[in-house]
A and B are shown apart, each in its own frame.
Chain A
Amino acid sequence: MVVVLNGKKMDMTEGVTLLELLESKGLSPETVVVERNKEIVPADSFTDVVLNDGDHLEVLRFVGGG
């Protein structure tokens, strides 16, 4: 299946959770916020969310700014 992660298409196996995806990218879940199909995923449910084909994910974090 395919998900769109930060604007880029990505092939994935079925049944992967959001937490597993983040960890595979080397990201600590407490340092990011995730929007899935334009809805914010609460941080405490990263482990429960199983990704679906066609999901659009935005993974963001704080960066320097004024």
Chain B
Amino acid sequence: MSKDLFEIGGLKLDSRLFTGTGKYADDSVIPGICEASGSQVITVALRRVDMESTTGNVMDFIPKNMQLLPNTSGARTADEAVRIARLARAMGCGDWIKIEVISDNKYLLPDGYETARATEILVKEGFIVLPYVNADLYVARSLVDAGAAAVMPLGAPIGTNRGLQTREMLRILIDEITIPVIVDAGIGKPSEACEAMEMGADACLVNTAIATASDPVMMARAFGRAVKAGREAYLAGPGATQCHAAASSPLTDFLSGD
């Protein structure tokens, strides 16, 4: 079998699991997460430096071979997302940007209209844009039209670990959307990442479920394997489901004769 590479923004990736850097009790575990998960893409956020604090720099823990995917978290409008994206690029870590435009503080649901507007602007400026969106076909289509490199629909609200609550809408996106579909947010267990991949998602992004596990490195490994297993199952082409039983062995007259 030829190597099943995943190409995005001109980069060919072996791993279809993206990871994050948020919520770790101790950032020094991050290199172990990258290695155990096999992930090659990792997210970060951009924030004001707290002049009073002496906390470490998360960048010290991200292996140099990782593709950095800064997000625009904190943005409430397209203009704010564009501003954060430009600042992130000025850090000198590449052109990738995960657009997050959120003004809803309870469920952290993304604003599709503002996200599409930010995507359009940033694509024109040469960014590789991966927008975080609701699992909504029309929003996803508008992002394809705007030149997004992928769409990242949510399985459930950020940080909830509730799994693929949007399953049916994800199925429609996977069926209809021609650019990569990366399920982001809400995936709580490896089985859920595996299911998303079996359905034909191109990749998954998992942060909270790994970062808040009792053993984050072990959980990262489990997610890496689950994503691979799900991808293989998708490529293998699952057999049909049916309601009535179908015997696994041929039914013959043996033992039933007179």
| A8 partner residues in chain B, CB cutoff 8 A | 51
**Chain B residues with a Cβ closer than 8 Å to the other chain, count:** 35
Residues in A with CB closer than 8 Å to B71 are 65-66
Q: Are A65 and B49 in contact (CB under 8 A)?
A: no
Which B residues are CB-close (under 8 A) to A58? 48
* B87 contacts chain A at the CB level, 8 A cutoff: yes
Measured in the bound complex, the distance between the Cα atoms of B50 and A8 in whole Å is 11
- Which of A31, A35, A65 has the most B CB atoms < 10 Å from its CB? A65
A65 — which chain B residues lie within 8 A by C-beta?
Answer: 20-22, 43-45, 70-71, 73, 207
Q: A61-B57, A64-B23, A64-B24 are in contact. Are A33 and B91 (CB under 8 A)?
A: yes
| Complex Cα–Cα for A42 and B207 (A) | 31
Nearest CB of chain A from residue B180's CB, rounded to whole Å: 18
Within 8 A of B (CB), among A5-62: 5-8, 25-27, 31-33, 35, 40, 42-43, 58-62
- C-alpha spacing A7/B51, complex, angstroms: 11
CB pair A62–B45 under 8 Å, yes or no, is yes
The answer to whether the Cβ of B37 comes within 8 Å of any Cβ in the partner chain is no
Chain B residue contacts of A61, Cβ below 8 A: 46-47, 49, 57, 59, 91
Residues of A within 8 A of B93 (CB): 62
Q: Is B90 an interface residue (CB 8 A)?
A: yes
B205 at the interface (CB under 8 A from A): yes
Query: With A40-B87, A66-B158 as given contacts, are A31 and B46 in contact (CB-CB < 8 Å)?
Result: no
Interface residues of B in 30-83 (CB under 8 A from A): 43-49, 51, 54, 57-59, 68, 70-71, 73
For the complex of A and B, list the 10 residue pairs with the smallest distance between their C-beta atoms, beginning with the closest: A65-B45, A66-B207, A66-B20, A64-B21, A62-B44, A64-B22, A66-B22, A6-B48, A33-B90, A63-B47
Give me the interface of B with A, judged by CB distance under 8 Å. 20-24, 27, 43-49, 51, 54, 57-59, 68, 70-71, 73, 86-88, 90-93, 158-159, 185, 205, 207-208
